[in-house]
Amino acid sequence: MHLPLIDGFGREHTNLRISVTDRCNLRCFYCMPAEHVQFMERSEILTFDEIERFVRIAVPLGLRKLRLTGGEPLVRRDLNVLIRKLAQIKGIEDIGLTTNGILLADQARDLFDAGLRRINVSLDALDAQKFAAITRRQGYEKVINGIQTAKGIGFDPIKVNAVAVRGLTEEEIVPFGLFARRTGVEIRFIEFMPLDADNAWDHGKVLYSNEIVEVLEREIMPLVPLPNRNPKAPATEFVFADGIGRIGFISSVSQPFCMSCDRFRITADGKLRNCLFSTEETDVKVLLRSGSDDSAVEAAIRSSIAMKKAGHEINAANFIQPSRPMYSIGG
């Protein structure tokens, strides 16, 4: 019998984020440099078989939920093949995908047929020009088409993740609220976090969740908290008072939820991270490729979880931004 993955603060870990690539077809300023990005060698990236083995080892330890990330996961060839492998593992109850949506329309049917049902689309603006300014690439219409295609196929839920940046995205708040009401897609506003490749983040650039709530309630109508919220979920969710339109907030800066966190991560190159903001990693790829048995991998997972800190310390004077930017860690 395997004991669950519990850290030194009593938090049980059942949710794994798997980065399948560090490559991306956009260059969002809060995630990647604009040009001359140094990507990992393809030989350094975990194979689908290695990812599947890692998940199979972690399931007896209590792993139940998976989310595939990048970079942009849909640039990884034949991603639907990996999803089919993971969906067939007994004990996995939920698989999600976070994508920028550029390639979603082309791949949505294959992803759905492989067993994927939950999709989060990263989209920070509903204005095409502002989209281009944030992503430093074109493709707004492709993202909207991807959302519409996924909805037509039957993906549910579909959530849009919008990073909230002061001085840049205030004008997007009301359009996103109306978008949620019009489409049935949940909008999740995410406070700007210090994971940018340029190390240009500061508190003054964070557009806080409570400010967004004030705008939505003033310009549209009051928001009502959704009942029966999952206490381990990162988002606080609301619905407009008339029951039409769901809005979520991930308030990592203003209202950290670290003490309820049940997530850990594996990077595309096989480094285990117990926190998005961790400054330490555990190399499991070397175990997966050196002939080590499952017990060695399990021991590495347990060691990583045991070393997890109480919180990310973004608001502390001694906070150290991770050396890896978001695209290299996995969103």
- Is 7 inside any structural domain? no
- Is 33 inside any structural domain? yes
Cis peptide bond N-terminal to 71, omega within 30: yes
Q: What is the mean pLDDT of residues 314-321?
A: 71
Structural domain that includes position 100: 15-329
CA atoms of 192 and 209, how far apart (whole Å): 10
- Is 5 inside any structural domain? no
**Residue 214 in contact with residue 245, Cβ under 8 Å?**
no
Q: What is the mean pLDDT of residues 284-293?
A: 97
- Is 317 inside any structural domain? yes
**Ranges 44-48, 199-203, 266-270: which has the least confidence:** 199-203
pLDDT classification of 196: cutoffs 50, 70, 90: low
How much is the pLDDT for 10? 96
pLDDT classification of 257: cutoffs 50, 70, 90: confident
Question: Quick one: which of 313, 303, 319, 301 has its CA closest to 265?
Answer: 301
How much is the pLDDT for 197? 65
User: pTM of the entire structure?
Assistant: 0.95
| CATH code of residue 112 | 3.20.20.70
The two structure tokens encoding residue 294 = 């499952």
Q: What is the mean pLDDT of residues 122-146?
A: 97
The two structure tokens encoding residue 116 = 């994927």
Q: Could you give the number of structural domains in the chain? A: 1
Question: Quick one: which of 216, 141, 145 has its CA closest to 178?
Answer: 216
* SS3 assignment, position 225: strand
Q: How far apart are the first and last CA of the chain?
A: 32
pLDDT classification of 231: cutoffs 50, 70, 90: confident
**Residue 57 in contact with residue 16, Cβ under 8 Å?**
no
Q: What is the mean pLDDT of residues 252-257?
A: 85
Surface-to-core class of residue 35, CB atoms within 10 Å of its CB (0-12 exposed, 13-18 middle, 19+ buried)? exposed
Surface-to-core class of residue 83, CB atoms within 10 Å of its CB (0-12 exposed, 13-18 middle, 19+ buried)? buried
Average pLDDT, the chain: 93
